[in-house]
Structure 1
Amino acid sequence: MRTKLLLITVLVIFGIRANAQPSGTPSGKPYAYIIKGGHVIDPKNNINEIMDIAFTAGRRGMVARPAMAARPAANGRPARPAVPASEGKIALIAKNINPDLADKIIDAKGLYVTPGLIDIHVHFFWGHDGSYLKNAPTALPADGFTFRTGVTTVVDAGCTGWRDFELYKKRTIDASQTRVLAMLNIVGTGMDGAGENNIDEMDPQKTAEMAKKYPNDIVGVKLAHFSGRTWVPTDRTLEAGRLANIPIMVDFGSANPFLPLDSLFNVKFRKGDIYTHAFGGNGTNDPNGRESIVDLNGKVKPFVHKAREKGVIFDVGFGGASYLYNQGVPAVKAGFYPNTISTDLHTGSMNGPMKSMENIMGLFMATGMPLKEVIAASTWHPAQAIKREELGNLSQGSVADIAIFRINKGDYGWPVRGGKFPGKERFQTEMTIRAGNVVYDLDGLSQPAGPSPAGR
């Protein structure tokens, strides 16, 4: 009996230690996976060629799951050593890595391999207790709408203010495999559809205090949808950003006449502040509403170029109606590319022209933005914009967040506000890897052909 109990104890401890291995390779091989033969595009490291990528696997289960503390033996139950949380890492990028060094091989020939995409404008405060995009069904649960489009990191753009951020952290950030970060709304009550014009709820001090309390989760301050001709909301948002030393993101509502973008960009903004819905506005010469960055002759306004030289970040934030044909198409054709491509993802945008991150990437490529620049605007540039430069790249030692795409050829169309643009190439996500674990696999690239052993 003692021998049997000892054997069980050894097996349990061995199993736990195997699961705790940072490499996630029960065979003892150095790599969990090698992605072979894919066209790797890693803008940070200036890689744009066919290469192999080897990476280790993290501890299985939800990425946000905490480490497991050691447990002493008790009541006949054996002791358990501490099990640390772990993330799979990029181990090697090279040509022709020996396939015998990994547990599994992912054949990516004919496919494109990039860092996991970073979408810095989403609305993921999903729930039923609130309204509009705060704790409401108009927002979305993260994991159901990220991995299937190659996205591994998102930034919630202002759903929550300082009053309810901790509820959001519990319900969304800590409960998601997707890495969810947040722009904290300057309005304390967040994006409930009723209080966004309430200047009394715009508290820079309390917003900054919450941002400093959760620096791993909060990456900026958001001003959204305010309608009225005053700079007070912008100034309070900027003050919160200064106090917390983080960028701000501005989504103007409307004003009569509009607040001039030249003043926002070149007087108010600091280097690194973000203007979202960059290709939106009223798209006309109407002095009311929201100004656009391209004039009616299809020219990007001179003060916009000045702002880019200053370091202002121009973000897509496509949304339901925040991309105009007469803004996005001429701007890209003139070489004015967005710094960051983002979706403004919620139930009101996902079934319209926006659809998904990969769809927007296809639109920008169709209108003339080179593939390498599209990938940069979806990976490395957003990582820089939110000051998380450990993300959005495939450097050795970086977390293994990876997307694998197929670019399909055909006759495609992108209907947008004010027109429709044709194109010949469309992105299709084949696989998404988050922290070294395969979380989406469209065609089973990570699985061998045929039935599993014992029919499993």
Structure 2
Amino acid sequence: MKVVSLVIFFMFCVFQPVWSQEKKYRIVIKGGHVIDPKNNIDGIMDVAVAGTPGGNDGKIALVAKNISPELAVQVVDAKGLYVTPGLIDIHVHFFWGTDLEGTYRNGPNGLQADGFTFRSGVTTVVDAGSSGWKTFETFKKQTIDLSRTRVLAMLNIVGEGMAGGKYENSLEEMDAVKTAEMVKKYPDHVVGVKLAHFNGHNWTPTDRAIEASRMADVPIMVDFGGADPVLPLEDLFLKKFRAGDIYTHCFGGNSNNSGKGRESIVDVSTNKVKPYVLEAQKKGVIFDVGFGGASFLLAQGQPAIKQGFYPNSISTDLHTGSMNNAMKDMNNIMSLFMAMGMDFKSVIAASTWNPAKEIKRPELGNLSVGSDADITILNLRDGKFGFYARDGKIQGKKRIETEMTIRAGSIVYTLNALVDPVNVPRPAQR
């Protein structure tokens, strides 16, 4: 019996090349161009992900030149590619469900998180107000707790969330105290308060959402798409917003002809960003893209970028109405902003470190040693590419494409299998 045991032990030791004692790292990414805005890294570096036999460390272990591939269980060849922190999309709608009248709240307009994130390099998302204080716990159980994507949330000031006009136009649904209480109950998951879709010329919804955000000490995200007539952005930015509050759909001004909806941030008569908008950004107001199905205009975005007015954060407003439209996905919107003249490094910052700071999650959006190994590997393709919005189209010479996504130290998406070996034993994961 002792002989048999010794033979089995010997075979176990010989045939365990994957997690041998020499393997210090789970993954080493070799030869990529690392862009890490937080740490001011912009150059050819290697990245090592921590891992131990039977463990699930999943942290950044080292960012340096010439890390030995012999120390890694898996080696990724990233030559000619860009290595960035995992992308962060702070405007999505992932409260999917079967309530046909629920729209974005447990309804048909929402999407399932993991099916639409990793293939675009996104590792963290913020659901922007699909749920409210009455429905958040359902959203948490149904989506947050079951997703490999890190799903955070902005809580709608409307108790039911984005459940259609019956609720979203009801002031009785807007309870600042109960909203703040729910935010504070789940500080690890709720990162802000959202206001959207109120149809009317009334500051009360804004004031209640701001009150809730102040009580919970989180930012507010505002969408003025339903204002009728328009509510003046100058008052919102300079009188009501604090530094750190977020204006989404910032290039979606649609009020020039109708007199309702969102006031534009670019003066259509001069093609210049309005002075109070520049003042607001200098004050610390956050301008977020939130492209969506019809919430972006080239006539707003192009002159703003040309003038040097960049969005603080790039986001998709991903839902069933936008994913197969002009928006498509995070990489497409990033590429569009490059086509309009925004430089690649600024695009990466607006998709990683900037949104992490906006939602007060400084542990995200960077490749600091000890942080979660959320990593995206991008291919910046050359060619002739088309981009469009509801008011026209433009051509670009670059397109961003996700080659690989790593979430918490595990490869969750690889387009061209640039890793060797592709499959290795690892702890069971969802």
TM over 0.5: yes
Give the paired residue count. 417
How far 1:2 sits from its partner (Å)? 11
| Partner in structure 1 of residue 307 of structure 2 | 334
1:189 equivalent in structure 2? 160
Query: Where does the alignment leave 5 or more consecutive residues of structure 1 unmatched?
Result: 19-23, 61-83
The corresponding residue for 1:127 is 97
* Partner Cα separation in structure 2 for residue 181 and residue 59 of structure 1: 30
Q: What are the within-5 Å matches in structure 2 for residues 46-445 of structure 1?
A: 46-57=40-51, 86-129=56-99, 131-194=102-165, 195-282=167-254, 284=256, 287-296=259-268, 297-445=270-418
Return the offset for 1:126.
Answer: 1.1
Q: CA deviation at 1:448?
A: 4.3
Partner SS, residue 127 of structure 1: coil
| Equivalent-residue separation in structure 2 for 1:201 and 1:427 (angstroms) | 42
Q: Structure 1 length normalisation: TM-score? A: 0.87
- 1:367-413 Cα offsets, whole Å, 9 max, x none, are 11010000000000000000000000001111100000111111111
**Amino acid aligned to 1:181:** L
Deviations 1:330-367 (A, max 9, x none): 10111100000000000100000000000000000111
CA contact 1:185–1:221 (8 Å) conserved in 2: yes
Residue segments in structure 2 that go unaligned for 5+ positions in a row: 425-430
Measured at CA, do residues 230 and 89 of structure 1 come closer, stay the same or move farther in structure 2, by a change above 3 Å? same
* Whole-angstrom distance in 1 between the partners of 2:292 and 2:181: 30
Q: Distance in 2 between matches of 1:198 and 1:91?
A: 50
Question: Which one-letter code corresponds to 2:46 in the other structure?
Answer: D
Separation in 2, partners of 1:293, 1:28 = 57
Q: Secondary structure at the match of 2:419?
A: coil
Instruction: Tell me: CA distance 1:7–1:242, structure 2 relative to 1, closer, same or farther (3 Å).
Output: farther
Q: Distance in 2 between matches of 1:45 and 1:432?
A: 20
Question: Structure 1 residue 27: deviation in Å?
Answer: 4.5
Give the share of equivalent positions with the same residue, in percent. Answer: 64
Q: Secondary structure at the match of 2:302?
A: helix
Distance 1:441 1:127, change over 3 A: same
| Cα 1:303–1:58 shift into 2, 3 Å | farther
- Aligned partners of 1:5, 1:184: CA distance in 2, in Å? 58
Task: Say if 1:198 and 1:388 are closer, same or farther in 2 by CA, change over 3 A.
Answer: same
Task: Give the Cα–Cα distance (whole angstroms) in 1 for the partners of residues 19 and 2 of structure 2.
Answer: 31
* TM-score, with structure 2 as normaliser: 0.92
Shift of 1:3: 11
When the two chains are superposed, the root-mean-square deviation of aligned CA atoms in Å is 2.5
Aligned partner letter, 1:111: L
Q: Secondary structure at the match of 1:96?
A: coil
Q: Give, in angstroms, the shift of residue 257 of structure 1.
A: 2.9
Is the 8 Å Cα contact of residues 25 and 57 (structure 1) preserved in structure 2? no
2:31 maps to: 37
Q: Structure 2: which amino acid aligns with 1:240?
A: A
**Partner AA of 1:391 in structure 2:** L
Answer whether contact 2:230 2:255 (CA < 8 A) is retained. no
